[in-house]
Every structure is written in structure tokens, then in C-alpha cells.
Structure 1
Amino acid sequence: MRRVTLTQFLIEQQRAGRTTPELRLLIEVVARAVKAISVNVSKGALAGVLGEAGTDNVQGEAQKKLDVIANEILLQANEWGGHLAAMASEEVEEVHQIPFDYPKGGFLLLFDPLDGSSNIDVNISVGTIFSVLRNPEGDGEPTEQNFLQPGRDQVAAGYALYGPSTQLILTVGDGVHGFTLDREMGSFIYTHPFMTVPNETQEFAINASNARYWEPPVQRYIAELQAGKSGPRGKDFNMRWVASMVADVHRILTRGGIFMYPLDEKCRDKGGKLRLMYEANPMAMIIEQAGGAATTGRERIMDLQPTKLHQRVPVVLGSAAEVERVTKYHLES
């Protein structure tokens, strides 16, 4: 079977008019950074990269050593290419400007350098999430306002999963495509064309330890799933929870399901748990491109107008029929 590399795939997308040379090169740079992060993750204790870094990120969360390493890899890899006007990282409060001695391009890159990093020390899958926007035309250095675009304006989104194999999942607005890193070749190979989310499911992912904080629509929905064959759904459901959004979403993309981090009393004052720009928007684009749905429980995630760079929102995404049911329960209440 002919093996297609990420580079060849992107060139073919460019020839078909689905991407531009600049966007193609930007994605290739992100992919190279992902390879470097994968090497660091795989070495673990052998390289002394486990444990906490002794610092907090902008969210007030303790940073792991690999959080800091992954963030630096992505920043340094993308600074000099000439494709970006600026970057924003979940780990850093301010917009990261391109150094003055490097050329600038027309795109903005946002990323969560190491999603699920609380799992690092116990050797469970973690990942990287990224989103690409066009930089609005104008003079001067990009500010936070340049990034505050709704998710529907994304030109590309993707994630890397560092598991038994390293996979890169990507959309440029023409379906979702998966690539697996061949470590011997050093290349991402096209292994999962046009990934789709099954419309219905028998699996759900939610942090059940927060059940006492859930709103009534969520309690109603989860109770129906837990009731199994004897309940209103007439079938049994299984719960899966990795506490790494990339791993949970990848499972849903592969075999269906619903992922929920809903609004509850525990996170109401923050607006939600997950970050709109770094997690919710790129994952929503991927899931919708794969035939699924993504809402806050009340409205489509990609229609939200961001108000700040590190804004948090509730997230309900996955198989369309299940997401629509959860959203219906919220609207009825």
C-alpha cells in the first residue's frame, strides 16, 4: 500500500485549493514541534521531565515540567517561519509577539501545549491542541483583540495524541484526517482518512465526582444513561473518563460517544471549566467536521463571540444525537 506523508497530503490539499502554501507550511512546522514534544513525553523519568516545575500558569494551576518544555518547543518552532503574526498559549497570559528580526505572516496560532498534563506522572496519554485563525488586516503588532474571533472563523484545527503511538488529527475545513508518526522514518503517515463520529453511542465521558454540582438537565441526562436497559433509553451505557480532553475526544472520534464538562455550581463563577480559544473551539471544529456536534449545552460553541483570551466555557461534544438531546434538556429547563 502506498504510504502518504503529511507533507504530501498537505500539498495535495493545496493543489485542490483547500489550503494555501503559507497554511501548509505552518501546519508542517506545528507537526515538527509535535515530534519534538513526543520525544520528551516518551522519555519521561529517563530525561528528568516528570514532576512539577515549581511555577503556576495564567490559570493559577501548578505547571508540570513538560508543560513548560512543550510550550517552549511550540513557541520556538513557530517564531521564525514567517507564517505567523502572533501566537497565544494557554500557559501564558499575554499574546506572544514574533521577534522583530523575524518575518511575519498572516496567521494567528493558539495552542494548549500539553493537555491533560496531570496524567504525565502516571504515564497516561496526554496531547497538544492547536487552532489557526487569520490575522485581521491592520497596522501594528497584534493584540488580544485580534484573537477574539468566533470558532467558525478558524482556518485549521488539530490535536496530537501522545499514546502508545503518536497521532496527529487535523482539519482544514474538508473533513478530519489522522496521521500516525513513524518513528523510524521521522514522518507522519496518513492512516485515518475522513474520520467520522458515529451518530449514536453507548459511551459517555464526564467527571462523575462533580455530580452533586450538576444542573438538573445534566442530572436528568446522566440518570437516564445510568438506568440502562430498564430506563427510558432501553440500552446500557458505559462511562469512560481519562481526564485528558485529547484522549477522551479521540476515543469519541474513533468509536462515538459524548464528552461533557458542563456548567455546574463548582465552575459557574468562571463561566465553565475548559478554555474556549485553546480547547473548546478547535475540538468543536474537529468534531463538527467529523459529523458530530459541539455546544455549551445551550448554544453552538463555534458561534460564541469570545470576550477574552483565556475565557472558559461549558463543553458538550460528540455524537450528534446525544449532544442534541443534552442541549434539548437544557433549553427545556
Structure 2
Amino acid sequence: MSSLAREELSAFLARVLPATDATSSVAGVLKAIAASCAEVSLALRTEVICSANGKNKFGDDVLSVDLLADDCISRHLQQCPHVAAFCSEERPTLTSVSSSSSKPVNESYCVAFDPLDGSSIIPCNFAVGSIFGIWRGNYFIGQKVSDIVSSVVVVYGPRTAMFLAHRAFGAAEFLLEKNGQWQKVSNEPLTIKPDAKIFAPGNLRSVSVLPWYRRIVKDYMDSGKTLRYTGGMVPDVCQILIKGNGVFMTPEAAPKYKVKLRVLFECGPMAFLIQCAGGYATTGLGDYMDLVIVELHQKSPIALGSKNDAKRFENACSNQQRTMGKL
């Protein structure tokens, strides 16, 4: 990592975004997200973690910190004049924000977010995170992943790091300082090399029923690649940005080992982030950016990171589907 480039978030956005965005719209949404995540970071270090005695609509157990993060982020988005609507993984129904109703469509946004991805590994004190995707307008259905304007991923670990993605500047990393300010950490853009040295194999149990996936994992092990996998999508993907290479993979193996990752709340924003850093993301059948959102609950397989490795996953999965007569 290069020496610190001391540039605060607001100054960075004003410098790199087109004037129309920086002065009025998406920059305001990004700053609202950043402020909410600074609060969540502090809360995670001080709150007692306990069960919320319930499950979300996807069947996942809900912890007290899930609800705390969801409430905090929702409050900040409701107060942002450029947010037309939002939806979270904990409450996957669209919430409209009346304060943006008078805004032109190109100055209002809908935000999908996972308030605390990986909360099941919090008791182990592993890193967890928040994921955000920002689309124009007031509704997600019918839009593509490629229609994302910006995405944000925050890692709550020994340090709190935030990764921003936008086509105007690519991908950039910020660290949360003691004073609550977000500071950019490097003059150099985040870039992902085409070949992976590290791999993170999600849904690993599926190797028992997916020979093509078993071959990929075995080849990585036999060739001396480094296995780095925590079970949390945020740290497992963000390590690729820090290391500058790597691949994260999660195949579908229905009905025994179904994929759990959601397009709107996790995979779509992550795919956009990786693409902005020069990597590639795939559904296993094609470019993830071409995927159309058809429902808020939509799930999909994904492989992302170094282009050649994500393409290898795509080719193997596609060939298997052709062999089975599904393509």
C-alpha cells in the first residue's frame, strides 16, 4: 500500500465526480451512507450481541446488531433529500421517502442494502460488513446490475474500511478515523490483476455434487494457490481489492445446496465494485452486469475477482449446463 493521501471523503467526491453529481445528488447519498456506517462501526464495538428472537423474510436468524444497523442506516437514508426509496435485506419491502418526491428522476435514487452481512460470524469476532447499491429512480425491478450508479462496501474489522465504486473514478478505499471522518488511503486506484493467487470458495459443500466445481477447487490447491475464506462475503471479496488479485466463487447446487446470496443486496453491488476495479463478475452463465432484477428476493450464483479466474468458473459452469441440455 502506498503512503497515505490525506483527503477527506467530501473533498474527494467534489474533486472526482461530475459537477452535476457532486453538487446535488449521488454525492449526498454517498455521504449519508458513510455517516450511517460510522455510527454502525462504533455500535458494533460497544453493543451486547444477542438474538432478536426472530428470522428475516429470507429465513435467516436475526441478531440485535442486525436491527441496530438496519435502523441506523434507514434513518440516514430517510433524511437524505436525494433518496427516493430504499430496501434492506432485513426488511425487503420498498420504503418510499417523501422528501425526494419533488426531485427530477435523474437527481433521485433508490438504495438497496444489506445492513450487516455476515452477522452469523460476529460471535467469532470475524470481520463483517455493510453492502449498498445505488440505482437511479425510485424502483429496482426491471433495472440491470449495470444500471448501478455507485456501490459502497464497508468492512468492520480491526479497522473500519469503506470501498466506493463509481465509473467516474473506479474504486477507492477510505479508512474511518477516530474523529469520525473518512480519509482516502492512497493516491493509486484499486486495480485487480487478471490472474488470482488467492481463492475463496463459497458453498464448498457443493463439491460433493458438482464435479466441475470440485475440479476447480482441487486445481487451485494442487497449484499452490492460497485459500482465504472466512464465510463472510464482505471480507472475502474486499481482500481481493486489497491484494490486487483473487477470486470469490459461490455456485448453485440445487436442491441440496442452494445458493443464498441475493442479487439486490449483495451480489449486484459487489459485482459493480469489482468491475470498477478492473475485475470481472459472472453468474456462471454470463456477465453479471447483464443480469436483470426481476424481484427483490432474487438470488443467484456468482464468481468475481480476477478476470481469467472468474471466466474459468463461467466456462466450467456453462459447459456443464450445456452437457445437461439446460442451455
Q: What TM-score do you get using the length of structure 2 for normalisation?
A: 0.89
Deviation at 1:197, TM superposition (A): 1.3
**Gap change, CA 1:122 and 1:212, over 3 Å in 2:** same
Counterpart of 1:205 (choices 180, 200, 203) is 200
> Displacement of 1:157 after TM fit?
0.4
Do the aligned residues in 1 keep the contact of 2:135 with 2:148 (CA within 8 Å)? yes
Structure 1 equivalent of residue 10 of structure 2: 7
| CA distance in structure 1 between the partners assigned to 2:250 and 2:5 by the alignment | 40
1:260-313 CA-partner distances (Å, limit 9, x unpaired): 111113567x6x320001111100011011111100111111101121011000
Identity, % of aligned pairs?
A: 29
Equivalent in 236, 249, 262 of residue 260 of structure 1 = 249
**Equivalent residue for 2:219?**
224
Note the alpha carbon deviations across 1:231-254, whole angstroms, 9 max, x for none: xxxx31121211110100011111
What CA distance in whole angstroms lies between the structure 2 residues aligned with 1:219 and 1:211?
8
- The match for 2:260 is 273
TM-score by length of 1: 0.87
Contact 2:247 2:303 in 1 (8 A): yes
Distance (whole Å) between structure 2 residues aligned to residue 107 and residue 20 of structure 1 = 15
1:214 and 1:31 map into 2 onto residues whose CA distance is 41
Q: Which runs of 4+ in 1 moved over 6 A?
A: none
Contact 2:202–2:251, Cα closer than 8 Å, also in 1: no
- What is the Cα deviation at residue 54 of structure 1? 0.7
CA distance in 1, matches of 2:293, 2:203: 28
Asked whether the 8 Å contact 1:213–1:266 carries over to 2, the reply is: no
Range 294-303 or range 19-28, more displaced: 19-28
Q: How does 1:68-147 map to 2 (within 5 A)?
A: 68-98=67-97, 100=98, 102-104=99-101, 105=103, 106-135=108-137, 142=138, 146-147=140-141
Out of 177, 191, 201, the position equivalent to 2:172 is: 177
Q: C-alpha separation between the residues in 1 aligned to 2:161 and 2:140?
A: 30
- Gap change, CA 1:277 and 1:213, over 3 Å in 2: farther
Q: Kindly report the root-mean-square deviation, in angstroms, between the aligned alpha carbons of the 2 structures.
A: 1.9
- 1:12/1:36 CA distance change after superposition, 3 Å: same
State the match for 1:329 in structure 2.
316
Residues 1:187 and 2:189 aligned together: no
Give the aligned length.
309
Does structure 2 conserve the Cα–Cα contact (< 8 Å) formed by 1:14 and 1:21?
A: no
5+ residue gaps, structure 1 = 136-141, 229-234
Q: Indicate the residue corresponding to 1:57 in structure 2.
A: 56
Letter in 2 for 1:177: A
Give the distance between the partners of 2:173 and 2:216, measured in 1 at CA: 31
Q: Does 1:160 align with 2:154?
A: yes
Does 2:287 match 1:300?
Answer: yes
> 2:224 is matched with which residue?
236
| SS of aligned partner of 2:295 | coil
Partner of 1:36: 39
Correspondence for 2:324: none
- In the TM superposition, what whole-angstrom CA distance separates every residue of 1:159-180 from its partner, at most 9, and x where no partner exists? 0000111011001213100000
> Once the 2 structures are TM-superposed, how far is the Cα of residue 96 of structure 1 from its aligned partner?
1.4
Give the direction of change, closer, same or farther, for the CA distance of 1:110–1:210 in structure 2 (3 Å limit): same
